[in-house]
């Protein structure tokens, strides 16, 4: 069944509770003076999940602490350095650089929202990223299964950074002798059971013999009398 076209109203309607429940994102304990960054960050994750599923994705989007740390680093950097307005940090770092330093293993992408005010709502963030082709493509990419979001405020500047990750696939486990024996017993193909990085299948054949030539030696000893008589090939064993 074809996917329905992705529209901004549909995304907003699907995430009404996450976006409109706290348009100004206030703090916990009903403190209405301090922006509640946790609620805002969670709304961004909810928006990404909704956009991906509107685009036909079936996977979940999970928060990753390493990506969150990378997002926090860039958020602090952009908030303190007013000349920054994108992915590149004040030290020249890229989103991938910051994710690597945070310990993440995989490919990353990033979206940044900067608002010259004390706060920003989830609807404003979604509207900006949705209408930016590059940001829209990142948010709706099904391969981005992990995310880290961080936001921070000053009296005249709010920064929200989302880092999206495609985790590196782990190497397949090395099979145990028991697994190999069971596979052989069941007639399985042992090709995929080679250890990761094993390239023995690509090694050319060794031209040197790997046997002691005992069969040939026995042949010569048993049949040399027939050969001396001029009978060759010698008769079958036993001689008829």
Q: What is the mean pLDDT of residues 52-72?
A: 95
pLDDT at 82 over 60: yes
* CATH at 107: 3.40.33.10
Judgement on whether residues 194 and 162 belong to the same structural domain of the protein: no
Block residue for tokens 């680093």: 73
Among 167, 193, 221, the domain-final residue is: 167
Same domain, 19 and 125: yes
Average pLDDT over residues 114-134: 92
Convert the pLDDT of each residue in 22-47 to its tens digit.
444 433 444 444 456 899 999 999 99
183 shares its domain with 74: no
Q: What is the side-by-side strand order in the sheet with 106-115?
A: 62-63, 146-154, 157-167, 106-115
Rounded CA-CA distance 131/161 in Å is: 17
Q: Do 52 and 148 belong together in one domain?
A: yes
Instruction: Give the phi and the psi of residue 196 in degrees, each rounded to 5.
Output: -55, 135
Percent of the chain with pLDDT over 90: 51
Residue 75 in any domain: the answer is yes
Specify whether 161 is located in the same domain as 54. Answer: yes
Kindly report which listed range (24-28, 69-73, 136-140, 235-239) carries the lowest average pLDDT score: 24-28
Let me know if residue 15 belongs to a domain: yes
- Residue 202: both structure tokens together: 């690509």
Number of domains in the chain: 2
Over pLDDT 70: what percentage of the chain? 62
Q: Cβ of 81: how many Cβ atoms within 10 Å?
A: 12
Q: Is residue 229 in a domain?
A: no
- Kindly indicate the confidence band of residue 225, based on its pLDDT and cuts at 50, 70 and 90: confident
- The whole-angstrom separation of Cα 58 and Cα 96 is 25
Residues 49 and 71 both lie in one domain? yes
Indicate if the alpha-carbon torsion angle 142, 145, 148, 153 is positive or negative.
positive
Q: In terms of residue numbers, what domain contains 123? A: 8-167
Q: How far apart are CA 64 and CA 47, in angstroms?
A: 16
Are both 78 and 195 inside the same structural domain?
Answer: no
Using alpha carbons, select from 51, 197, 9 the residue that is nearest to residue 138.
51
Same domain, yes or no: 69 and 53: yes
Residues 149, 192 within the same domain: no
Dist. CA 14–CA 49, nearest whole Å: 10
- Whether 93 and 72 share a structural domain: yes
Backbone angles phi, psi at 239, to 5 degrees: -60, 140
Same domain, 90 and 197: no
Per-residue pLDDT of 150-195, as tens digits, reads 999 999 999 999 999 999 987 667 667 777 677 767 766 655 545 5
Residues 48 and 70 in one domain: yes
Residues 63-79 have pLDDT tens digits of: 999 999 999 999 999 99
């Amino acid at each position: 069944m074809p996917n329905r076209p992705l529209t901004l109203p549909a995304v907003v309607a699907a995430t009404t509770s996450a976006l409109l429940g706290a348009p100004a994102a206030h703090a916990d304990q009903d403190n209405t003076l301090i922006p509640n960054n946790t609620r805002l960050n969670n709304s961004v994750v909810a928006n990404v999940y909704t956009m991906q599923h509107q685009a036909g994705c079936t996977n979940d989007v999970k928060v990753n602490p390493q990506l969150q740390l990378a997002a926090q680093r860039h958020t602090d950097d952009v908030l303190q350095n007013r000349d920054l307005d994108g992915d590149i940090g004040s030290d020249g770092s890229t989103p991938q650089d910051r994710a690597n330093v945070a310990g993440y293993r995989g490919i990353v992408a990033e979206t940044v929202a900067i608002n010259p005010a004390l706060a920003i709502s989830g609807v404003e963030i979604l509207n900006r990223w949705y209408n930016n082709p590059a940001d829209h493509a990142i948010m709706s990419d099904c391969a981005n299964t992990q995310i880290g979001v961080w936001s921070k405020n000053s009296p005249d500047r709010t920064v929200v950074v989302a880092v999206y990750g495609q985790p590196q696939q782990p190497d397949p486990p090395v099979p145990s002798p028991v697994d190999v024996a069971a596979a052989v017993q069941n007639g399985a193909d042992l090709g995929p059971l080679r250890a990761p990085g094993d390239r023995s299948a690509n090694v050319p054949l060794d031209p040197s013999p790997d046997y002691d030539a005992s069969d040939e030696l026995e042949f010569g000893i048993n049949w040399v009398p027939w050969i001396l008589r001029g009978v060759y090939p010698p008769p079958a064993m036993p001689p008829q």
